[in-house]
Every structure is written in C-alpha cells, then in structure tokens.
C-alpha cells in the first residue's frame, strides 16, 4: 500500500457514455477510499471543471468523447496535473477507429479490411462483400454500431451510423471468436472471451451493459500458441497507437486461430461487468489492487 493520496476521480462527463462512466467512477472511488485515500469526485458535465487544490493525481473514469479522445488529457496537461492512462495524442489516435487502423497497418498488426464513408449516398463498395460492420469512427462502446448482412441493408446502416459521427468506418465482419486483452504496465493479461447469450449473438451496447446478457471466459480456452498470438497482436496495437499505462484491445480470432485487431480502448470500463477487472482477477489482482496499480503507473511520471 502506497502512502495516502489526494485523488480526484473524474467521471460522468458530456458524452453518450455518461451513465456507464458514472458507474465506473463510483466503483473506482469506492475502491480507492477502501485503500485509505482521500477521494473527490468531479463530473465535468460541459467540459469545464475545477480540481481540488491538493490533487496528487487524477483518476480518469470518463468514457467516450471528451474523456477518451484526448480533450480532457490536453486540459490536464495544461494544468500540469498527473492523470491515469494514455496521453492526449495516444488517446486521440486510439479513439479514432480509422487512425487506429492506419497505425496498426503501419506497424504490421493484423486488422480487418476497411474503408471510410462520409455520405449516406455512398454506393456499395466494389472491393468488399457482406457481411460488413459499420461503426462511427469516433464513438466508443458500440454506439452507432450497424451490421450489414445483405447489400440491401447498406443505405440504412450508413444513415444510422452517420447520426453519431461525420465519418463511418466500414470493415469486413470477422467471423470467429470475440476476445479482449487487457494490457497493464506493458504486460498482457489473460485473454477474455466474450460470448453474448441473447439470440442476436452480437456484443452490442445492450448486451455489453446488461448483467447476465453475456458470458465471459477468462482465461479463454485457446491453446498456448493461439493465446500468445492474440496477446502479441494486442500488444502490437497498444504500441502502434503509443499507448501507456493501460488499455484494452479487442481482438477477433478466426477459425484458423489468427488474430485480427478491432480497436484499442484507452479508458476501458471499470464497472462490475467490465472486462479489464475480470482479466486482472485472472492475473491475480483484485479490483482495488488494479485501481492502485493504475495510480502507481501514473505517479511514476511525477
């Protein structure tokens, strides 16, 4: 246990993921208080905030735009305040799914074929076949996610996804097993496999945040070589976007065992149903210890 700290947990915020962020922040604040720290909760509802004057470190429990796209990180850098997680630039790149893809391709990290669309009138692409996935480039947590199983579904999927961003990423839908890898302090934790129970079989916003709607297996049931390949792909993506401290990388695994990186989450959820705490538990870290580890990684920069 490190010495008692004045920690400000930033939670809530102005994004579409406000509710989840409030839950993440409440859980983190409770855990940090249980370790004896002085914790203040700050909710920057319209991107203005005042930190308590004695703040030693800010724990970022924000999700989505503002919290995860580098904006709040930049504000905190200007204030000279230490905070958990990635810096402003890595956050900006990782939050933008297209920039993340480009960084992965440059680094030789396996990722799905894709293109970008900015208009609902865009014709169906010649070089891709359904099934496809449409995602707003700069939203988290499966917000605006659309599946295109048939060409006829193309126009509507674009309209729906473009409601959430001016740019939409279209990528091949990888058929396989869905996994995620938490990386903390440069170490890849045991792989988590995600198996939605509902008939849809997709890990959408509803399945993600409804307790019991999805089954998780950690460590996931892969052979040692496949596990290493999944973790290596995740670490590759983590480094490609210049992440630091911790992140969670979503990876699809094809039937032949080859991993395909989907995205990098620089401020992954920390609620009771979240995946990073599950992976940490499998690595032998309880929830409070995980929160402390995140604080310790930030304080190294002091």
pLDDT digit string (tens) for 184-205? 999 999 999 999 886 555 555 5
- Which CATH superfamily is 114-172 part of? ATP-grasp fold, A domain (3.30.1490.20)
Domain boundaries, the chain: 6-85, 93-110+175-291, 114-172
**Fold match flag (93-110+175-291 vs 114-172):** no
Q: Is 17 an annotated catalytic residue?
A: yes
Q: Please identify which residue in the block is written with the tokens 């976007």.
A: 241
The CATH number that domain 6-85 falls under is 3.40.50.20
Q: Is 108 an annotated catalytic residue?
A: no
Global pTM reads 0.92
The DSSP symbol for 48 reads -
Q: Single out the catalytic residue among 69, 178, 245, 263.
A: 263
Q: Is 142 an annotated catalytic residue?
A: no
- Cβ atoms of 170 and 117 within 8 Å: the answer is yes
- Cβ atoms of 264 and 181 within 8 Å: the answer is no
Q: Is 263 an annotated catalytic residue?
A: yes
- Cβ atoms of 67 and 60 within 8 Å: the answer is yes
By percentage, how much of the chain surpasses pLDDT 90?
85
Q: Single out the catalytic residue among 137, 250, 274, 287.
A: 250
Q: Single out the catalytic residue among 246, 269, 274, 287.
A: 269
The DSSP symbol for 111 reads B
- Cβ atoms of 223 and 256 within 8 Å: the answer is no
What value does the mean pLDDT take over residues 295-302? Answer: 96
Model pLDDT for residues 234-272, shown as the tens digit of each residue: 999 999 999 999 999 999 999 999 999 999 999 999 987
- Cβ atoms of 181 and 263 within 8 Å: the answer is no
**How far, in Å, CA of 281 to CA of 286, rounded?**
5
What's the burial of 74, exposed, middle or buried (CB within 10 Å: 0-12/13-18/19+)? middle
- In the prediction, which pLDDT does 141 show? 62
Complete DSSP assignment for 274-296: -HHHHHHHHTT--HHHHHHHHHH
The CATH number that domain 93-110+175-291 falls under is 3.30.470.20
Q: Single out the catalytic residue among 12, 17, 207, 246.
A: 17
**Could you tell me whether strands 168-172 and 132-136 are parallel, antiparallel, or unpaired per DSSP bridges?**
antiparallel
Q: Both tokens of residue 279? A: 């992976």
Strands (E), 162-213: 168-172, 176-184, 187-188, 192-196
Give the SS3 label for residue 117: strand
Q: Is 209 an annotated catalytic residue?
A: yes
């Amino acid at each position: 246990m490190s010495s008692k700290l004045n920690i400000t947990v930033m939670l809530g915020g102005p994004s579409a993921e406000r509710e989840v962020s409030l839950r993440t922040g409440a859980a983190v604040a409770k855990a940090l208080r249980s370790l004896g720290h002085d914790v203040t909760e700050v909710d920057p509802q319209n991107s203005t905030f005042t930190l308590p004057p004695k703040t030693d470190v800010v724990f970022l429990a924000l999700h989505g735009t503002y919290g995860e796209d580098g904006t709040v990180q930049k504000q905190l850098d200007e204030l000279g305040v230490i905070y958990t997680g990635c810096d402003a630039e890595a956050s900006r790149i990782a939050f933008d799914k297209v920039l993340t893809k480009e960084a992965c391709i440059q680094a030789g990290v396996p990722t799905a074929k894709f293109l970008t669309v900015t208009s609902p009138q865009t014709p169906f692409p010649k070089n891709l076949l359904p099934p496809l996935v449409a995602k707003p480039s700069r939203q988290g947590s499966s917000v605006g996610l659309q599946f295109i199983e048939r060409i006829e579904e193309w126009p509507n999927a674009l309209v729906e996804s473009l409601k959430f961003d001016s740019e939409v990423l279209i990528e091949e839908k990888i058929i396989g097993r869905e996994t995620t890898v938490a990386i903390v302090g440069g170490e890849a934790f045991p792989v988590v496999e995600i198996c939605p129970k509902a008939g849809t079989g997709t890990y959408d916003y509803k399945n993600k945040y409804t307790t019991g709607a999805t089954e998780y297996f950690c460590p996931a049931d892969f052979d040692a070589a496949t596990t290493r390949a999944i973790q290596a792909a995740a670490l590759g993506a983590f480094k490609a976007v210049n992440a630091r401290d911790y992140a969670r990388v979503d990876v699809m695994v094809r039937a032949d065992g080859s991993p395909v990186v989907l995205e990098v989450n620089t401020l992954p959820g920390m609620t009771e149903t979240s995946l990073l705490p599950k992976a940490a538990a499998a690595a032998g870290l309880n929830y409070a210890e995980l929160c402390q580890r995140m604080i310790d990684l930030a304080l190294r920069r002091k």
